Amino acid sequence: MTTSAGTAFPEEAITCSITMRWGDMDAYGHINNVEVVRILEEARIGAFGPPGGTGRPGRETEVPFFSSLPAETQALVVEHRVKYKASLEYRNIPLNAKVWVSDLKAASLAINYLLLDPVTDVVCVTAQTSIAFVSAESGRLQRISPEQKAMVVPYEAASIME
């Protein structure tokens, strides 16, 4: 599939709306590169739910992957890779994020993202977050269950990083 500006993305991607905040701008008047990483966190949570055991109930997410991890399993960010393609501009309407999974393994996966300007549809950011599942007690890598894995299989596609 392609955005209206012609960027390809896999049809398996979930689309999320992410609200920018005025305070995300820095002294240059663009969304600060660090706040982009905060926006990626929101996109990840928008697509796959807030981590279980944090916050209080809100809406049911369609794919509550993170929300339904067993309490003894932690999803840890082990790597971020973020490419800034065009400066992301603050607007008082939400940006669009395309989010999908790649590199799905027994105890890890990668989340892939495109962040699109909500007016021009230009790709401002491409990014990938590698996540490992570890036991909260031992700190060791922990396999996720087949049921858990099945939740994200429909959203698996090629890695955005080559």
* Start-to-end CA span in the chain (Å): 17
CB of 154 to a copy of itself, least distance (A): 21
Query: E-strand spans in 61-162?
Result: 73-84, 95-102, 108-116, 123-135
Buried-state track 44-58, b at ≥16 Cβ within 10 A, e below 16:
bbbbbbbebeeeeee
Is the CB of 58 or the CB of 146 nearer to a copy of itself? 58
Is the CB of 73 or the CB of 84 nearer to a copy of itself? 84
Q: Tell me which residues in 89-148 interact with a copy of itself (CB under 8 A).
A: 89-93, 118-119
Contact segment (CB under 8 A) with a copy of itself among 32-40, 104-112, 141-149, 152-160 equals: 32-40
Is the CB of 21 or the CB of 143 nearer to a copy of itself? 21
CB of 126 to a copy of itself, least distance (A): 10
Binding mask 35-74 for a copy of itself (x = CB under 8 A): --xx--xx--xx--xxx--xxxxxx-x------------x
Distances (CA, A) of 140 to 12, 31, 102, 135, 137: 31, 37, 22, 6, 8
Contact segment (CB under 8 A) with a copy of itself among 6-14, 81-89, 97-105, 144-152 equals: 81-89
Q: Identify the CA nearest to 18 among candidates 84, 116, 107, 100.
A: 116
State the Cα–Cα distance between residues 94 and 66, nearest whole angstrom: 23
